[in-house]
Each structure stands twice: as structure tokens, then as C-alpha cells.
């Protein structure tokens, strides 16, 4: 019975961690997870250059379980790094599409490479 209760109480928290580490998604309407979104900049857009909204570790109020104390920073970094990698892949795919479209329209490969 205790094992059942323990697993059921840990399930939502483990889902937060799984979603953050494997998908870089943060869905925490009740602010229960150790990572929070910092929304200090309201003029952010993924389509423009600049600084993205940050995720940071929430450490006040005793929200970090004692068994995660040593893993707080690696969990935060894992989600941040996955977010960077997915954004780079999106940008590379976009640049690849632009490059191949120019290649198809261009008469010479050198024109495409130097005027990209």
C-alpha cells in the first residue's frame, strides 16, 4: 500500500521532469516544478534575433525535494540544452530550405554559395 501511494504521489513530479528533459516543454500551471519560466521581456519573438525567455531553477519556498538537491542544476541544464538544440535544428532546416531553393533557381553553384 505504501509503495502504491509513493508511486502515485511521485508520478506528477516525474512527468514534469520527463517532459522537461525529453521535450524541453514546461507545463506547470500550479508552479509545482523546480523550473520556472522567467518572462521579463514582453517583446520576445522567435523570428527575431535576441534573447529568449529564460528558464531558471526555483529554489525558494522549499519546493525542491531533498532527493533532487544534487540533481537540480543538471535537470535545469538538460532542458535548456535540448531547447537550444531543437531551435538550432529548426533554423538549420530553414536555412537548408532557403539554400536549396536558391540552388534550384541559380545557374551556378558558386552563385548560390557566395550570395546566400
Task: Encode pLDDT of 14-63 as tens digits.
Answer: 888 888 778 877 777 777 776 666 655 545 555 554 445 555 555 554 56
Quote the domain boundaries for residue 14: 2-90
| % of the chain at pLDDT higher than 90 | 0
Residue 8's pLDDT band (cuts 50, 70, 90): confident
39 domain-assigned: yes
Of 23, 10, 41, 38, give the one whose Cα is nearest residue 79: 23
Burial class (CB in 10 A: 0-12, 13-18, 19+), 43: exposed
Inside any domain, residue 33: yes
Distance, CA of 112 to CA of 100 (rounded, Å): 9
- Classify residue 40: in a domain, yes or no: yes
The number of domains in the chain is 1
Within a domain: 52: yes
Amino acid at each position: 500500500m505504501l509503495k502504491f501511494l509513493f508511486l502515485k504521489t511521485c508520478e506528477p513530479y516525474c512527468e514534469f521532469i520527463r517532459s522537461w528533459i525529453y521535450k524541453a516543454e514546461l507545463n506547470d500551471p500550479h508552479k509545482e516544478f523546480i523550473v520556472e519560466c522567467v518572462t521579463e521581456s514582453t517583446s520576445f519573438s522567435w523570428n527575431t534575433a535576441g534573447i529568449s525567455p529564460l528558464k531558471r531553477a526555483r529554489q525558494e519556498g522549499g519546493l525542491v525535494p531533498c532527493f533532487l538537491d544534487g540533481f537540480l542544476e543538471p535537470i535545469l541544464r538538460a532542458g535548456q540544452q535540448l531547447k537550444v538544440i531543437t531551435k538550432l535544428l529548426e533554423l538549420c532546416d530553414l536555412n537548408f530550405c532557403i539554400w536549396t531553393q536558391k540552388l534550384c533557381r541559380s545557374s551556378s553553384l558558386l552563385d548560390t554559395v557566395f550570395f546566400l
